[in-house]
Amino acid sequence: MRHQILLSFLWASSLPTLVHSYFKRGAAERAIYYMTYLQEEVYGVNNAAAYQVAPNCKGTRDGFLGQKNRCTLIEFLNHIWAQKANDANDVKPDPARLTGTKGLEDVRQLTADKIGSYIMGAQQTKPGGGTEPVTKMGYYGEVDPGKLLRGATSYWDALGRFGLVSNEAKRRAEELKRNGGLDDKKFAQFEKWNTQAKEATNTAVALRQQVIWEFQWSHVSDMKAKIGVEPVKTKVTSTAKWGGQVISWDTIAVDKTIEKIQTELGLNKVDATKRFDAGWAALQADTNTAEHISSLEAVKRIQRNLGC
């Protein structure tokens, strides 16, 4: 497609060390992180250097191949949690107060959707009885990239490298299976975690695209002022789902909008296209949109590396 949302990767050191991956998008990305963390258990014991995802997370779970002190989902989420800048009300959830976590303990049964749904609906006990949502952002706010991935220099750097980390673990599992070091049942488990990482990635990409267009439409008046007509909408429906619902969003029908410019303003196609391009550039100029595009490109990098 001629007009796409384009922005170079913002890997520069000027980007903030801690940055947001909020709400449903943040929850989906955390499913990618944890599924990849589980995949790395293929490296077994006495191989610490091979582990890239949250290598310093010390938990209470026995690993799939005999490792000690691996992290449960909640321990993992607490490990990578970071406070939102200048927001004292953003408090790390207290694991002792969390409810509904028993269904998360068996990592063999975890799915990307289950992780995302839990994070978005996390509840904690109230001091006087009953339950309430966890404080502020809970587990869908900031992450600390240095704790999330070995050697990560920024959120975008960490996020974009997850596909390579997942692929390396997948190759190791295939190698062990060929050499008789991994039986069919255990290999199937690693394959399941890889599949779930792919599903989480597709969901994160779709959610990022959805929120970008929410921002775009909130600034569509900037484009309208440049092109002189109301842009024509068209709906995009992805194959990814969130909570059982297909993710979709409205975008701009490029060709139909250019035709509308020609018809209503009496311009030829060349001049109408130039006018459209000027409006499109104005639409892309919003700072919040640019940051989301950077995150989208990082998740798409995972998607390309995983082949999903």
Q: Where are the alpha helices (DSSP H) in 6-151?
A: 23-39, 73-80, 112-121, 145-148
Structure tokens at 111: 């799915």
Q: Which residues pair with 142 in a beta bridge?
A: 20, 82
Q: Kindly report the CA angle at 295 between 294 and 299, in degrees rounded to 5?
A: 120
Instruction: Tell me which residue has tokens 């869908």.
Output: 140
pLDDT, position 33:
96
pLDDT at position 179: 94
- The values of phi and psi at residue 251, to 5°, are -130, -175
Per-residue confidence (pLDDT) for residue 106, from 0 to 100: 94
Q: Which residues make Cβ contacts (< 8 Å) with residue 83, sequence separation at least 6? A: 90, 91, 92, 141, 142
Q: What is the pLDDT of residue 14?
A: 33
Q: Which pLDDT belongs to residue 12?
A: 31
Q: Which residue has the tokens 């091979």?
A: 50
Token code pair at residue 96: 């002792």
CA angle 280/293/217 to nearest 5° reads 45
In angstroms, the CA 35 to CA 73 distance is 10
Total residues found in the chain within this entry: 308
Q: What is the pTM of this model?
A: 0.86
Q: Over its length of 308 residues, how does the chain's per-residue pLDDT go in tens digits?
A: 445 443 333 333 333 333 456 789 899 999 999 999 999 999 999 899 999 999 999 999 999 999 999 999 999 999 999 988 777 778 899 999 999 998 898 999 999 999 999 999 999 999 889 999 987 778 988 899 999 999 998 888 898 899 999 999 999 999 999 999 999 999 999 999 999 999 999 999 999 999 888 888 888 888 999 999 999 999 999 999 888 889 999 999 999 999 999 999 999 999 999 999 999 988 877 656 677 778 888 889 899 988 88
Please check whether residue 124 is in contact with residue 97, taking contact to mean a CB–CB distance below 8 angstroms. yes
